[in-house]
Amino acid sequence: PSSDCVMAEQLCLSDSTCNATYRTLENCALAKTRLLSLDHDSRVRCLNAELDLGNSSLLHCKCHRRMKRQEHCLRIFWTVHSSMTDGYLNLETSPYENSANEEHWKTDYNKLAALVSGKNCSQLAGDATNPCLRATHICNLSKKCFRLRTDYASTCTKGAASEDVCDRRKCHRGLRNFFEKVPEDFTKRILFCPCQDEFCGERRRKTIVPDCSFQYNTKPNCLWLLDSCLEDHICKSRLADFQQNCQPVDMSPDGCSLHNHAACLQAYMGMIGTPMTPNYVSNSSVEVSLWCTCENSGNQKEKCDQILSMFESNKCL
């Protein structure tokens, strides 16, 4: 099994040869972060340093979605694999451990759902016809789900009633906390609840608090959105995870190249709370998109369309 990158880094730093190679890679990654163009010799040195790691556990390490030092772990992964970002949208190796190998939390969702069903119907009017409302009521019975949902909702709605601009960064962090720390039994049902009418659809679309976390006053170009994502270790990692798990294939029964639609949905949830946060486009459909446009993309129009189509016309998703 792949080792944790934080542990792998500690092992490497205790070995003088590995330590020297890793420090070279850190300089290479730093130059890329600062958008410094490397000369030919520097590029060769960086590629050789990556090759020199050979069978080091650093080269094969992964991170976990719910780990405490996630950002540090992801920084290590991209330090070692910085050459992967040379190509455009060349992020098809996820830094995350396969979800099948991760511990799945035992949740009390079904027990809480039974409690909701047993309550007076008049208290929960609309439950039967609004699965999104029902999923929210069940979340409210779980202390963790209620607390983290309330946290991000209050952060993401601050300034909504005035001319103040909401703190998008804090809002995104709150959303990520919710989707990372609350068991998927709750988060998936809130986000993917099936709707028959627009009232339900509106609640589903507003799960992501679109006015703060999703929409800007004007739609930015999708290439700008991608650049913002690649500058952020978490967003870049979630995008790589999404590209790996949501590769569409026409001949596959579920439309996914890895034949794992559940992994694609999990990767999609991972994009929420990043600069490339997706959302439902309306109250009356299940179509999703990024909040961006490909108008005025010039000779990069094809690349821009590729970014948008990952969400808008992805058969796997």
Average pLDDT of the residues in 160-164:
56
Mean pLDDT score across all residues of the chain: 84
CB neighbour class for 297 (10 Å; exposed up to 12, middle 13-18, buried from 19): middle
Find the mean pLDDT for residues 215-225: 91
> For position 274, what pLDDT does the model report?
95
Half-sphere exposure of 53 (CA within 13 A, CB side): 26
Residue 289: in which H helix or E strand, if any? Answer: strand 288-290
CA atoms within 13 A on the CB side of 75: 10
pLDDT at position 1, please? Answer: 46
Distances in Å between the Cα of 36 and the Cα atoms of 31, 77, 139, 143 are: 5, 20, 47, 47
Reference 100, options 288, 263, 303, 302; nearest CA is 263
Residue 232 has pLDDT above 60, yes or no: yes
pLDDT tens digit string along 52-106? 887 778 888 899 888 888 999 999 999 888 765 544 455 668 898 876 545 555 5
Cα→Cα distances 291→174, 205, 222, Å: 19, 13, 8
CA 8 to chain CA mean position, Å = 24
- CATH 1.10.220.110 segments of the chain: 218-316
CB 279 within 8 A of CB 210: yes
- Proportion of the chain above pLDDT 90, given as a percent: 47
Q: How confident is the model at residue 297 (pLDDT cuts 50, 70, 90)?
A: confident
State the pLDDT at residue 101.
47
pTM: 0.86
Euclidean distance between CA atoms 270 and 74, whole angstroms: 14
**At residue 214, does pLDDT exceed 50?**
yes
Strand 278-280 with 288-290, pairing: antiparallel
**Cβ distance 78 to 236 under 8 Å?**
yes
Residue 56 and residue 18 in contact, taking contact as beta carbons nearer than 8 Å: yes
- Give the model's pLDDT for residue 36: 62
- Entry field: residues in the chain: 317
CATH architecture, range 218-316: Orthogonal Bundle (1.10)
Range scoring the smallest mean pLDDT among 225-239, 249-263, 295-309 = 249-263
The residue among 301 and 117 whose pLDDT is bigger is: 301
Q: What percentage of the chain carries pLDDT values higher than 70? A: 85
More confident residue, 124 or 264: 264
Phi/psi of residue 62, each to 5°? -135, 175
**pLDDT of residue 194 exceeding 80:** yes
Bridge partners, 278 (sequence order): 290
Structure tokens at 151: 């946290």
